[in-house]
């Protein structure tokens, strides 16, 4: 690889390792969170955060346009969150 190609990859590599570093905190966070939320609730929270970040990245960085079906799919995901956190009393 030439120097130009290497210099373009360096920020990508550093960003990916930066993200991976914070994933180390996931196991203790699940143990602490499990005292408040169920494992299913924690997984749903994780998926909503992941999809929200991905949608933001797709819009801001990749230039994707949000269409009605994307909003409908996101509404279904939020409905899943609502159903899971609905009081079970």
* pTM, full prediction: 0.58
Tens-digit pLDDT profile for residues 2-60: 565 667 788 888 888 877 777 666 666 667 777 788 877 887 888 888 888 888 888 88
* Number of domains, the chain: 2
Give the Cβ contact number of residue 61 at 10 Å.
8
- Domain of 70 in residue numbering reads as 37-89
For residue 26, what pLDDT is reported?
Answer: 65
Q: Are residues 32 and 63 in the same domain?
A: no
Per-residue confidence (pLDDT) for residue 29, from 0 to 100: 64
**Residue 68, pLDDT score:** 92
Residue 87 and residue 55 in one domain: yes
- Regarding whether 71 and 56 lie in a shared domain, the answer is yes
Considering the domain architecture, whether residues 43 and 81 belong to the same structural domain is answered as: yes
* Residues in Cβ contact with 58 at an 8 Å cutoff, skipping those fewer than 6 apart: 64
* Domain match, 52 and 23 both: no
Q: Which two tokens mark 1?
A: 């690889």
- Clarify whether residues 89 and 77 are in a common domain: yes
């Amino acid at each position: 690889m030439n120097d130009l190609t290497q210099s373009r990859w360096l920020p990508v590599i550093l960003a990916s390792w930066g993200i991976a570093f914070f994933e180390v905190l996931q196991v203790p966070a699940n143990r602490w969170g499990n005292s408040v939320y169920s494992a299913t609730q924690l997984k749903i929270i994780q998926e909503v955060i992941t999809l929200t970040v991905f949608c933001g990245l797709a819009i801001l960085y990749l230039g994707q346009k949000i269409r009605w079906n994307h909003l409908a799919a996101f509404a279904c995901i939020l409905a899943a969150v609502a159903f899971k956190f609905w009081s079970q009393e």
